[in-house]
C-alpha cells in the first residue's frame, strides 16, 4: 500500500511550530474553544489584501492608483477597533498605503494569479495554499508575491527563511507548470520589497523541513484522536506571539507571557 500523504497548508505547519497548544485548539479540538475578540490589525490586513486583489480585477483603464482608496473603503471592516473614530483613522491610513503602493505597480504587468490556490504533492505531503499574487517574469519564470501590512518592514532573513513562501513556490511551479524560484515580500505601508531567489537545493531543504514538521503534526493528530490531549503532546510555547493569539483567554502560560494584553 502506498503511504498516505499528509494534507496540510503552510499555515497549519507554522501553527504547530509556533505553539502545539494553539495547534490543538485551532485544528483538532471540536468544538474549538471560543476565540477572543477580533484584532484590529487583522481587519486592516484583510481590507488591504482584498483591495489589492480587487484592483487587479478592474478593467485595465480603471487600474489607477487612486482607485485603491475606494477599494479599501469598500472592503473596510471595523472589527477590533475601540471606537468609530479610530476605525476611520485606520481606514484612511490604509487607503493611502494602498494608493502609494500602487504608484509603484505597472497596471499592464498582469499577474498570472491573484488570490490563487496552488497545490503540490511531495513524498510525504499534499500541501496547498492561497497565494496573494503570482507574477510572470519576462524570462518565463514565476514569482510569488506576499503582501505584508505589519509595523515592521520584513528583512532579507524573513523572505529567505520563510517556509510558507518556499512551499508556495513549489506548489505554484507544479500547479502552473512553470519554474518558480523567486519569492517576494511586499510591505504595503512603506512600499519596501525584499526578495530571494531559491535554488533547487534550497527548495529541497524546505520540503524536507516541511515533511519533518508534518511528521510531528501527524503523530500529534493521532494522539489527539486516541484521547491524548495533554501538555505532553500539546505543550504551550509562550512567546510574544501570545499577545495576538485568538485562544489567549484559555492559556494561563500565554497570559503570563504577555501581561497587560486584553483577554
d(CA 133, CA 121): 21
Report whether 172 contacts 118 (CB < 8 A).
yes
pLDDT of 66 over the 70 cut: yes
User: To the nearest whole number, what is the mean pLDDT of the chain?
Assistant: 96
Which pLDDT band holds residue 109 (cuts at 50, 70, 90)?
very high
pLDDT of 87 over the 70 cut: yes
Report whether 169 contacts 198 (CB < 8 A).
yes
Query: Which DSSP state fits 2?
Result: P
Check residue 2 and give its pLDDT.
62
Query: Which DSSP state fits 249?
Result: G
Report whether 237 contacts 25 (CB < 8 A).
no
Q: What is the pLDDT of residues 137-175, one digit of tens each?
A: 999 999 999 999 999 999 999 999 999 999 999 999 999
Check residue 129 and give its pLDDT.
97
Region 191-216: mean pLDDT is: 98
4 or 260: which leads in pLDDT: 4
User: Strand 142-148 and strand 192-197: pairing?
Assistant: unpaired
Domains of the chain: residue spans and CATH = 40-102 (no CATH), 113-206 (3.90.320.10)
Which pLDDT band holds residue 263 (cuts at 50, 70, 90)?
low
Region 54-60: mean pLDDT is: 98
Amino acid at each position: 500500500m502506498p503511504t498516505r500523504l499528509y494534507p496540510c497548508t503552510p499555515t497549519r505547519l507554522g501553527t504547530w511550530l509556533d505553539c502545539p497548544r494553539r495547534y490543538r485548539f485551532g485544528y483538532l479540538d471540536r468544538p474549538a474553544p471560543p476565540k477572543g475578540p477580533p484584532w484590529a490589525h487583522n481587519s486592516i490586513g484583510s481590507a488591504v489584501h482584498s483591495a489589492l486583489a480587487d484592483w487587479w480585477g478592474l478593467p485595465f483603464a480603471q487600474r489607477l492608483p487612486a482607485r485603491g482608496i475606494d477599494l479599501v473603503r469598500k472592503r473596510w471592516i471595523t472589527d477590533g477597533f475601540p471606537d468609530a473614530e479610530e476605525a476611520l483613522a485606520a481606514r484612511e491610513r490604509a487607503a493611502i498605503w494602498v494608493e502609494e503602493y500602487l504608484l509603484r505597480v505597472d497596471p499592464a504587468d498582469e499577474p498570472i494569479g491573484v488570490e490563487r490556490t496552488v497545490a503540490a504533492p511531495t513524498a510525504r505531503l499534499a500541501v496547498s495554499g492561497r497565494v496573494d499574487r503570482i507574477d510572470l517574469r519576462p524570462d518565463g519564470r514565476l514569482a510569488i508575491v506576499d503582501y505584508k501590512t505589519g509595523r515592521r518592514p520584513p528583512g532579507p532573513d524573513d523572505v529567505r527563511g520563510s517556509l510558507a513562501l518556499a512551499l508556495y513556490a513549489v506548489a505554484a511551479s507544479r500547479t502552473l507548470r512553470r519554474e518558480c524560484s523567486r519569492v517576494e515580500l511586499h510591505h504595503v505601508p512603506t512600499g519596501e520589497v525584499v526578495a530571494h531567489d531559491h535554488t533547487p537545493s534550497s527548495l529541497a531543504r524546505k520540503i524536507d523541513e516541511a515533511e519533518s514538521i508534518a511528521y510531528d503534526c501527524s503523530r500529534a493528530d493521532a494522539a489527539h484522536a486516541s484521547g491524548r490531549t495533554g501538555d505532553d503532546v500539546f505543550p504551550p510555547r509562550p512567546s510574544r506571539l501570545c499577545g495576538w493569539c485568538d485562544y489567549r483567554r484559555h492559556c494561563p502560560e500565554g497570559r503570563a507571557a504577555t501581561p497587560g494584553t486584553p483577554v
